[in-house]
Structure 1
Amino acid sequence: MDDLPPELVVKILNRLNDSEDLARSRVASKRLNSLWREVRAVNLVCTLPRYSKSRSIAVTPFKTIFKNLVEDSRNVRSVSVGVDRALSGMTFDDLAEEDSDELYLTDVEFVRVWLPRVRDDLETLSISDFWIQSCWRRSDVLALVSSNCSKLVKLEVKNAWLSVVGLTQMPNLRHLTLEFIRLDDENLKMVNDCFPFLQVLNLIGVGGLKEPRIHLLHLKSCHWTVSNAPLSLAILAPNLLELRLKCNKPKSLVLETPKLVKFCLSVEDAEGVSFSELGELDTLEVVSPDMYRLIRNTRFGNKIRKLAVDSVKTIEDSERLKLGLGTLLEAFPGIVSLTLSHVTWSNIKRYFQREGLVHMKGADTTLKQITARVQTSDYADVSFIRYILHNCKGLTDVRLMMHQDTDPRVRDLLISACTMSNQRVRWRWGTWAEGGEDIWVSNGT
């Protein structure tokens, strides 16, 4: 280490994930002690072991350690302070004192102590609070940050109750993440007004919303996970390219996103979902037991090339069971790649068994590849696959993932029957399991 150029040593120190390791390095080396102040990032996480030890008088409080790190540094551009996910399962019964604030990190009085030291050059700020200490304390930290950090580009706040009183415009902010937040901004008006140049917005589990409306002219990427409350949602973003939206039963959903290219939509009940055509959409992923209604009520556009469908649960309702493979191909005639979850595969197979050998109106498409998970394998799968191959003349690539508990003999019979069905197809086989990664085990032609 002593032979390395100072610039390289500082780069190495900047890559340390925990600034507490950086503090320890000062004791181990005089050179590190002289260079560590050049580090541009302070990153400190309170782990479960540290929290357990903090009840001892002999242990330096977490907030004190963090403040010392900030005060002893210079040229800091990035600050991250938070609690480890392992503490998220704690309850009020686990607290040593009910009114403790030792890990209340969005506390304005705490932030006001260290923020002036770094505010002039700060570009990235992340605060992940301790929910059981922050959920009942409303914080004005957003107003404090907006009035002090004019160069801030990226802001993340997690696990807190936030007020927007006093919030001022931050024209340089490009990336905002609010995760597991109670927000006093019912319609997101202050978010729209004070962060007008956002390009990335993540709202994950944000509560307190009433009729939320995202209206950001420069937004390019949005990830929005809405609570179970039935809300009327609106996204007006003329330059949005990628949207990941998860909601339960929205009263209504308005999308004015003409440039949207990639869309992942997760919705339980699609009755209130309808929007105008998404003319530039290329990639669509839908997670919903109500796919048939979505197709009927919405216009996803005719430029979609990649489609993934997860029906979530086995369909018993006759209205929803109208969704067959032909329905998908007719609704999305331009798709090249189709991915089906094991539930979706089962549902459309049942539709095939019920309706029999009928012509797929949308079969003469550009479809080249099908990827599907199969829960249980039987002869019905072979018949269904042969039916698909017969109708989809352009299909050249089939990838089947069978559940890891499938009897090997059944799997081998399915593989043998499929590979003999059509020589033009390139086959690929694998296994899957709930909560696990897909494992590709073989290729075939």
Structure 2
Amino acid sequence: MDDLPRPLIIEILSRLNDSTDIARCRLASKTLDSLSREVRFINLQCSFERYTKSRSPETNITPFKTIFKKLISNSMIVESVSVGVEKTLRGISFDDIEEESDDLYLTDGNFVSEWLPRVSGALRSISISDFWIQSCWRRSEILSLISSYCHNLLELELRNAWLSVDGLNPMPMLTSLTLEFVRLDDEDLNKVNKCFPSLQVLNLIGVGGLKDPRIHLLHLRTCQWTVSNAPLSLTIVAPSLVKLKLKCGKPKSLVIETPLLSDFHLSLDKASNFVVKEFHNLNSLQLESTDLCSIIQKFQPGRTIKYLNVDTPKWAQALEMTKFSLKGLFDVFPNLSSLTLGPGAWSETEIGFHAGVLEIGNGMEMLKEISVRLVLHDIEITLSFILYVLEKCINLTDCGIAYPP
């Protein structure tokens, strides 16, 4: 080992994604102990096994936070920090823990203050996945701390926490933000819009507490937003956005102003006031709704859309059909070259075919690709419908048929 060039050893150590493995290497030799300090990232995750051992009175185990702080203190320069609990710990119930425990409360302001100032100057990326049972009833000031110390931070990910925006300072360098299973209020999201003006990537997954959320970011390019509750209204104003994945249940009002959007994935049940400005650049669209026909009609006829994927949720298939129509689909999207029908959408069209009321129109003649995920109810009807569709697709070059799991 001592004969290897130092840069090569550092490169090998940098390819170990788990900092626990790097810590073990430090015990192997003085050379590894010295060079491991030059690795510029820390990735430490608490496993279910470690958590269980830490709860046993018969096991003497070093506290998780202590190990993390030691890794920080032994590092020369840290550009990326990822610390958290593994997903398996999400199954732990409140009955299984001590109410006041904070050994895995990783967004704790006191804990973060102990390690963040030392490494903040070089940090480019922070990812913290907290232990929800310990963090959900404590409001964390971690955003304020990060904005105070990390002036060069580019990427930030926070999961499983109740976040406060009190004292949050502008972070003009931040370009990527992920908030997953966190608690915020509307005014908190407004401050996020204000303090992170340069965001190009925004992921809001299961963010609770929002009633009338609004995203207004001028430089945003990619957004994934899964709304966990049922807001009264939901607004996205993002003039530079090109890719949007939105899942929002039943908002009473949905306003989307994204003129450069080219890739759009929309999943919702119903929206009584659904306003979509005309998309001049939309190329790929994926729609999932229990009211698929009505949602399609909300779109202005778009000749730019070439790739379309439509479906109704599985549970909706047992309810009243939404009268999904292929003719109505091609009336709105006449220039499709690729069409994917999920099992719900396929079932509705197959029922219309069997009842003799199916209307297709001329749109299918333009298709180059068609893919279906079907549910078999009557094999003879299904085969007849498949043959009927193939006869209509006279320019087809690719066809795929699959059964959903």
The two structures have a TM-score, normalised by structure 1, of 0.86
How many residues get paired? 400
Name the Cα RMSD after superposition: 1.6
Q: For residue 373 of structure 2, give the secondary structure of its aligned residue in structure 1.
A: strand
CA deviation profile, 1:170-204 (whole Å, cap 9, x unmatched): 01000000000001444621111000000000000
Quote how far apart the aligned CAs of 1:46 are: 0.5
Letter in 1 for 2:8: L
Equivalent pair of 2:93/2:133 in contact (CA under 8 Å)? yes
Query: What does residue 345 of structure 2 align with?
Result: 344
Q: For residue 156 of structure 2, give the secondary structure of its aligned residue in structure 1.
A: strand
CA deviation profile, 1:15-62 (whole Å, cap 9, x unmatched): 222211111111112211110000000111010111111134621100
Cα distance change on mapping 1:353 and 1:150 into 2, 3 Å: same
Letter in 2 for 1:81: V
Mapped to 2, the partners of 1:118 and 1:34 lie a distance apart of 18
Where in structure 1 do 4 or more consecutive aligned residues deviate above 6 Å?
A: none
Q: For residue 363 of structure 2, give the secondary structure of its aligned residue in structure 1.
A: coil
Query: What does residue 443 of structure 1 align with?
Result: none
Give runs of aligned pairs for residues 213-232 of structure 1, distance below 5 A: 213-232=214-233
Quote how far apart the aligned CAs of 1:356 are: 4.3
Letter in 1 for 2:361: K
Query: What does residue 157 of structure 2 align with?
Result: 156
- The answer as to 2:55 corresponding to 1:60 is no
Query: What does residue 122 of structure 1 align with?
Result: 123
Letter in 2 for 1:296: Q
Query: What does residue 247 of structure 2 align with?
Result: 246
Q: For residue 27 of structure 2, give the secondary structure of its aligned residue in structure 1.
A: helix
Quote how far apart the aligned CAs of 1:387 are: 2.2
Mapped to 2, the partners of 1:171 and 1:367 lie a distance apart of 45
Mapped to 2, the partners of 1:129 and 1:140 lie a distance apart of 13
Letter in 2 for 1:317: E
Task: Give the unaligned 5+ runs of structure 2.
Answer: none
- The answer as to 2:77 corresponding to 1:75 is yes
Q: For residue 281 of structure 1, give the secondary structure of its aligned residue in structure 2.
A: coil
Cα distance change on mapping 1:228 and 1:300 into 2, 3 Å: farther
- The answer as to 2:136 corresponding to 1:135 is yes
Query: What does residue 392 of structure 1 align with?
Result: 393
Give runs of aligned pairs for residues 269-348 of structure 1, distance below 5 A: 269-299=270-300, 301-312=302-313, 313-314=316-317, 316-317=319-320, 320-321=322-323, 323-348=324-349
Out of 48, 64, 89, the residue aligned to residue 91 of structure 2 is 89
* Aligned-pair identity (%): 53
Give runs of aligned pairs for residues 354-393 of structure 1, distance below 5 A: 354-356=355-357, 360-363=360-363, 365-376=365-376, 378-393=379-394
Mapped to 2, the partners of 1:345 and 1:295 lie a distance apart of 16
Query: What does residue 437 of structure 1 align with?
Result: none
Mapped to 2, the partners of 1:317 and 1:46 lie a distance apart of 47
CA deviation profile, 1:113-167 (whole Å, cap 9, x unmatched): 0011101111000110000000000011100100100000000000000000100
Quote how far apart the aligned CAs of 1:299 are: 2.4
Equivalent pair of 2:254/2:271 in contact (CA under 8 Å)? no
Letter in 2 for 1:306: Y
Mapped to 2, the partners of 1:232 and 1:239 lie a distance apart of 22
Mapped to 2, the partners of 1:326 and 1:383 lie a distance apart of 19
Query: What does residue 113 of structure 2 align with?
Result: 112
Equivalent pair of 2:132/2:160 in contact (CA under 8 Å)? yes
Cα distance change on mapping 1:355 and 1:273 into 2, 3 Å: farther
Equivalent pair of 1:305/1:334 in contact (CA under 8 Å)? yes
Query: What does residue 4 of structure 2 align with?
Result: 4
Quote how far apart the aligned CAs of 1:286 are: 0.8
Query: What does residue 182 of structure 1 align with?
Result: 183
Cα distance change on mapping 1:110 and 1:159 into 2, 3 Å: same
Cα distance change on mapping 1:300 and 1:37 into 2, 3 Å: farther
Mapped to 1, the partners of 2:381 and 2:120 lie a distance apart of 65
